[in-house]
Structure 1
Amino acid sequence: MLTEFVRDHYFTTAWFGLMAFVWFGWSQEDPPKRWRPWLGAGSVLGIGFAVWFGVLTATNWDQPSALAGRYGWFGVLVAAEVVVAGLGCLLLARRGASRWLAWWVAVVVAAHFLPLAVLLADAGVGVAGVVQLAALGAAVPRLRATDTTTSRVAGPVMGTVLLVSAVTGAVLTVV
């Protein structure tokens, strides 16, 4: 997105497209009826970016990466994200607060974008994380006032920011 590393740019755009598909999919767990077509469209667009930029990633795999020499740190970051998300979900489930699972996973994913931005030398990844964290934090009062699943809000927040980031990556590719 905002990196000098072409391979990383393509991969991040593809990954954000794929993850937009995933988050829009999760948000279809319990959406308001009027949102369903938009969530489906977001999923389709996300897959489109994932395929398009996945092909570009594969054909540019020999290009340099910001992760060169730091793959171990990348692995530690991803492992920490999975452990924190998993433990938080376990704790929420045991407390009978399973409706908060999507929100919790979204917060962990968004927070992991901040150190990931440093590893990838890509400020765009950090901006996406900050926007997601701000939106997820702002949604808490609304979520507390209802008893619906948090995927109803967390999914569209995450999916939209990721899809906008993928679109930005695509635009930057052709400019």
Structure 2
Amino acid sequence: MLTDFLRDQVFTTAWFGLMAFVWFGWSQEDPPKRWRVWLGLGSVLGLGFAAAFGVLTATNWDEPTALEGKYVWFGVLVAAEVVAAGVGCLVLARRGASRWMAWWVAVVVAAHFPPLALFLDDIGVALVGVVQLVALGMVARRLRGDTVTSSRLAGPVMGATLLLSAAISAVLTVPGL
């Protein structure tokens, strides 16, 4: 994204590509028919970024990282994210509101990006999270008046923002390699 650490840049690009693949996949749970090809294309492009930048991550693993000395706190952040997503989904399931699970997980993921940006010394990661949170707020309003699964709208929001971020990161990174 927007960091001086090459290893973190290529890893984030690979990770965002992989997560775009995952979110576009989840959004295929119940999409409108006309979206299916686009969601599939997003998945393929995300997987492409994940593969290409995964290789670049492996070849640049010995480069410095902003996470040096912060691994424990990074682990705490990730663990808190997983627990919040899991507990929230459990509560939603018990309340008979499981259609909101994708939206809830998306909010938790987006909310963890600003503190993650502090660990990675990368304002771009924070910007992605803020954009996602705003978009998910708009999605929530639309979902309230409907009965569809939230993956129908939350998945494409997350997939598209992550794919676009991976593409921007790739454009910024490749010329300097």
Structure 2 length-normalised TM? 0.98
Q: 2:69 maps to what in 1?
A: 69
| 1:32-47 correspondence runs (5 A) | 32-47=32-47
What's the CA shift string for 1:97-137, capped at 9, x where partnerless?
00000000000000000100000000110000000000000
Offset at residue 173 of structure 1 (A): 1.1
Q: 2:50 maps to what in 1?
A: 50
Q: 1:23 maps to what in 2?
A: 23
Q: 1:8 maps to what in 2?
A: 8
Offset at residue 54 of structure 1 (A): 0.3
Q: 1:150 maps to what in 2?
A: 150
Q: Which moved more, 1:101-110 or 1:139-148?
A: 139-148
Q: 2:92 maps to what in 1?
A: 92
State the alpha-carbon separation in 2 of the partners of residues 142 and 169 from structure 1.
31
Query: Does structure 1 residue 106 correspond to structure 2 residue 106?
Result: yes
| 1:121-132 correspondence runs (5 A) | 121-132=121-132
What's the CA shift string for 1:73-106, capped at 9, x where partnerless?
1100000000000000000000000000000000
Divergent runs of 4+, >2 A: none
What's the CA shift string for 1:37-93, capped at 9, x where partnerless?
000000000000000000000000000000000000110000000000000000000
Query: Does structure 1 residue 135 correspond to structure 2 residue 135?
Result: yes
Offset at residue 174 of structure 1 (A): 2.6
Unmatched 5+ residue regions in structure 2?
none
Unmatched 5+ residue regions in structure 1?
none
AA matched with 1:93: A
State the alpha-carbon separation in 1 of the partners of residues 93 and 174 from structure 2.
45
State the alpha-carbon separation in 2 of the partners of residues 174 and 87 from structure 1.
39
AA matched with 2:33: K
Q: RMSD in angstroms over aligned alpha carbons?
A: 0.5
Secondary structure of the residue aligned to 1:65 is coil
Alignment: residue pair count:
175
Identity %: 75
AA matched with 1:50: A
Secondary structure of the residue aligned to 2:99 is helix
Q: Which moved more, 1:133-142 or 1:8-17?
A: 133-142
AA matched with 1:154: A
AA matched with 1:78: V
